[in-house]
Every structure is written in C-alpha cells, then in structure tokens.
Amino acid sequence: MPISGDPILSVRGLRAGYAGRMIVDGVDLDVAAGEVVTIIGQNGAGKSTLLKGIANLVRLRSGEISLAGDSVFALSAQDLLRRGLAFIPQGRSVFPGLTVAENLRMGGFLLRDPALLQRRIDEQMEEFPALAAIGGQFAANLSGGQQRQLELARTMVMQPKVIMLDEPSIGLAPRIVDQVFATLRRLAAKGHAVLMVEQNVRRALQASDRGIVLELGSTRLQDSAAALLADERVARLYMGHRL
C-alpha cells in the first residue's frame, strides 16, 4: 500500500548487524508526516536492529536513509536528533535520579537558548498535564505508565519530525497501553511521523495507518493496518489465532 503523502523518512536497501553478521538485509520503507507505521515480526526477525540501524546505533550498516529529502545515513545519533529523528529504545530510558522537570530539561540538551528550552518544556507540561502535577517527583518513583509518558514528553522537547519507538507498550497494563497508543495518534495528528516496533500486534495495528511484516531481516509484507488485521496468515503467526 502506498503511503498517504510524501515520505518524511525514507529507507532504501538498509543492511545492519553486529560482529560480522547482518541481521537486517535490504529493507525499504517510507513513513509520511501524520502517519503511524508499525513493524511486526517474530522474535529474531530484526525489528529492533532495523530501528537501531536507522538511528545509526549499530556498527555494521549500509544503504540509504533520507530525512525530509536529505541524506542522513552518515549522521550520528545526536546529529540525527538535531535534524529531527528521535529514537526511544525498548525498556525504560528515564533518568531515575532526576525529577520529572529535570528529565524534560535533559530532553532539550541540544538547545542552546534557555528561553526556547523553557518554552518547549512548558509546552510539554501542557501536552502531558499528568506530568505537570508531579514535576517535582523523581522519575524512579513513577509508575511504568508515567515513565513512558515522561519519555514521550522528553522526546518531544526537541520537536522531532520522526519518532521511532521500540516496544512502547512493554510492561504496561492494558489501560495504560491504550493511553500510550492514543498519545502516538495525537502526535501523528499534529504532523509527526511515528515508526514503532511492537509485539502487541493487534492493538498496535488498530492504532496504525500501515504495517510492515519483517521476516529474517527482510520485508515480507507491507499493507494498510486494516488489511493486515484482516489477513489470515498475520493473525495466525503474529496474533496467535485464526480469523
């Protein structure tokens, strides 16, 4: 299925891996502004390595990556963030010994204008009012759902064009999972592009525009989220049941 607009992120022929072994083998993908795209696949398919390869966090890689039409393949993860590509890894990445407000400040470490940084932090406190109420609490004392919201808010301080997430629902209660996916849809509605890896296939596709099935490091299938939800093979292999 073609994307809904011009791609903000384009990946062509990406190969990525570790210690001489290529895990991702020639993946192509596009994500447009305003889209949520989910990558699904069995354990070992290369999903996390794909995101790390895009973010330049693996040593072995080749291919081409464009952001807003510009080649960014050779840029470091920090320079990619500066250009508008953010990555939230699997697990918790908050700074536990810092408060919520201090974590948000760390999210803008590349901003050199103190007034701009404070304005961005204030915007995220408005966007995530639950965090504003606990701004003085240490991140270590937050629930898993609150920590995930903090990670998203901290990431948005840099106003990235593309947000990549690895397993955003992991370890969260179903109600909190719904809140996280609703937040991602809200960010997409504001014009951001969202690319995520997710094991909760049904719920992720329900919140997505398109899906990509990865098998053994290669793209097996790309289609609308609705089409993948209705696909018998996808249901059997990745959702654990027949339609």
- Segment 136-193, tens digit of pLDDT: 999 999 999 999 999 999 999 999 999 999 999 998 999 999 999 999 999 999 999 9
Residue 71 lies in a domain: yes
pLDDT per position as a tens digit, 58-100: 999 999 999 999 999 999 999 999 999 999 999 888 999 999 9
Residue 108 tokens read as 């803008």
Residue 208 lies in a domain: yes
Count of CB atoms within 10 A of residue 2's CB? 9
pLDDT per position as a tens digit, 120-151: 999 999 999 999 999 999 999 999 999 999 99
Residue 118 lies in a domain: no
Residue 178 sits at the vertex; the CA angle it makes with 176 and 183, to the nearest 5 degrees, is 95
Question: Could you tell me if 221 and 228 are in contact, meaning their C-beta atoms sit under 8 angstroms apart?
Answer: yes
Q: Where are the beta strands (DSSP E) in the chain?
A: 7-18, 21-32, 36-40, 60-67, 70-71, 85-88, 162-166, 193-197, 210-215, 218-224
Residue 97 lies in a domain: no
Q: Quickly tell me which residue has 């990525």 as its tokens.
A: 16
Q: Residue 203 belongs to a domain with what CATH number?
A: 3.40.50.300
pLDDT per position as a tens digit, 2-36: 566 789 999 999 999 998 889 999 999 999 999 99
Residue 20 lies in a domain: yes
pTM: 0.93
Secondary structure of residue 157 in the 3-state scheme? coil
Quote the domain boundaries for residue 166.
Answer: 7-92+160-238
- Band of pLDDT at residue 243, cut at 50, 70 and 90: very low
Domain count, the chain: 1
Question: Could you tell me if 207 and 242 are in contact, meaning their C-beta atoms sit under 8 angstroms apart?
Answer: no
Cβ contacts of 70 within 8 Å, gap of 6 or more: 83
Question: Could you tell me if 200 and 173 are in contact, meaning their C-beta atoms sit under 8 angstroms apart?
Answer: no
Residue 183 lies in a domain: yes
Residue 2 lies in a domain: no
Residue 138 lies in a domain: no
